Amino acid sequence: MKRNLYDADHDLFRETVREFVTREVAPHRERWDEAGLIDRSVWSMAGSLGLLGIDAPAEYGGGAVRDYRYRMVVIEELCAADSASFNAGLSVQDDLVLPYLIELASPDQKLRWIPALCAGTAIGALALTEPGTGSDLQRVRTTARRTPDGWILEGQKTFITNGVLADVVVVFARTDADAGAGGFTLFLVDTTTPGFRRGRKLAKLGLRGNDTAELFFDDVVLRDADVLGAVGGGFGHLMERLPRERLSIAATSLASAQSAFDWTRAYTRERTAFGQRIDEFQNTRFVLAEIDTELDVAWAFLDRSIALLDAGELTAVDAAKAKWWLSDLQQNVVDRCLQLHGGYGYMLEYPIARAYADARIQPIYGGTNEIMKEIIGRDLVR
């Protein structure tokens, strides 16, 4: 099915992204996976080409283009090049951290951080999850207590993408134990601040090139100027921005599934068994036909969701549906594609094996798919 999502400007942008990925990303993927860390230099290269901060205001170094289709181009090209780890890092920067700063930061906070994040000379992280909390953010134990001069931040976060490289972290903390959902606040923490420290760089099943870490806040002294948004408004600020985060996960899921299918279609055309090409077996053709049709349907769904996001009409329920359905589809597609590779599909030298491992996090982070179904179900019976 031919997609009508993109116009000539998106196609020109894709050429830039593809050249960058081919030259600066793909040759280093294996080394990054082994190190569990991506070179900082590639971030600044991405920034210099305008691949970061696409919708950030021009006065802060952004592209000033409120059009998620450009982000979609970046996601598609990185997934096609088997560069899911770098995609994960960029997605946190552009779909999680920068929207908080663009929409909630004070003028001073914007001036300090947005230009550097857009240029790729600074890297951001979002610190929500804690040991024992997972998707239940109202149980977080990290606290920020008032002082005459500001705040003292104390606690621990885990599973933080970009945690090793981050220069600034958006931290979700409890500021009033008796205020329920109104008892949480967001803070901007410069990682050079005394009391901030990084724990382990976590060893993961997939996305092995991306740095995921534990973060600790040991009596970190903050000012009122480090509050992001409103005091007590942290939970609401998260809920307002979760649709974009979840759409980002959905977009990555579908782009990854499409790449897995494309690799598999080429593989079955090249490999032979019992004297004929693998794609000449009826079972292979049926599996490929099923996946191709499922992907066509899924792209139509995702393209509609992107249009809703750009129009400011993507609801939390819409985003939950996209995140759940497309991340589950990714699991199903990648599993069937690996099966068609036979024993080679189990070898890490083949991208389908790495895609299989990378895919498994998608139904978990950004809120588990069980939580997505709960959001949808509550809306149906409300």
Instruction: Give, as one character, the DSSP assignment of residue 123.
Output: -
Alpha-helical (H) ranges within the chain are 8-20, 29-35, 40-48, 68-80, 84-91, 98-104, 107-119, 234-270, 282-310, 316-341, 351-359, 369-381
340: three-class secondary structure by DSSP: helix
Categorise residue 37: left if φ over 0, alpha if ψ from -120 to 50, beta otherwise.
Answer: beta
Q: How far apart are CA 168 and CA 148, in angstroms?
A: 24
In the numeric block, which tokens belong to residue 36?
């569990």
Q: How far apart are CA 187 and CA 60, in angstroms?
A: 20
Nearest to 112 by CA among 254, 260, 223: 223
Instruction: Give, as one character, the DSSP assignment of residue 179.
Output: S
In the numeric block, which tokens belong to residue 165?
């490289």
Query: How many CA within 13 A on the CB side of residue 352?
Result: 26
Instruction: Give, as one character, the DSSP assignment of residue 189.
Output: E
Active site residues: 245
Instruction: Give, as one character, the DSSP assignment of residue 213.
Output: E
In the numeric block, which tokens belong to residue 244?
């974009």
Which position has the token pair 């996946």? 291
Nearest to 266 by CA among 336, 331, 340: 340
**H or E stretch at 156:** strand 150-161
In the numeric block, which tokens belong to residue 59?
């006065």
Categorise residue 370: left if φ over 0, alpha if ψ from -120 to 50, beta otherwise.
Answer: alpha
376: three-class secondary structure by DSSP: helix
All residues at 6 or more sequence positions from 23 whose CB lies less than 8 Å from its CB, including other chains: none
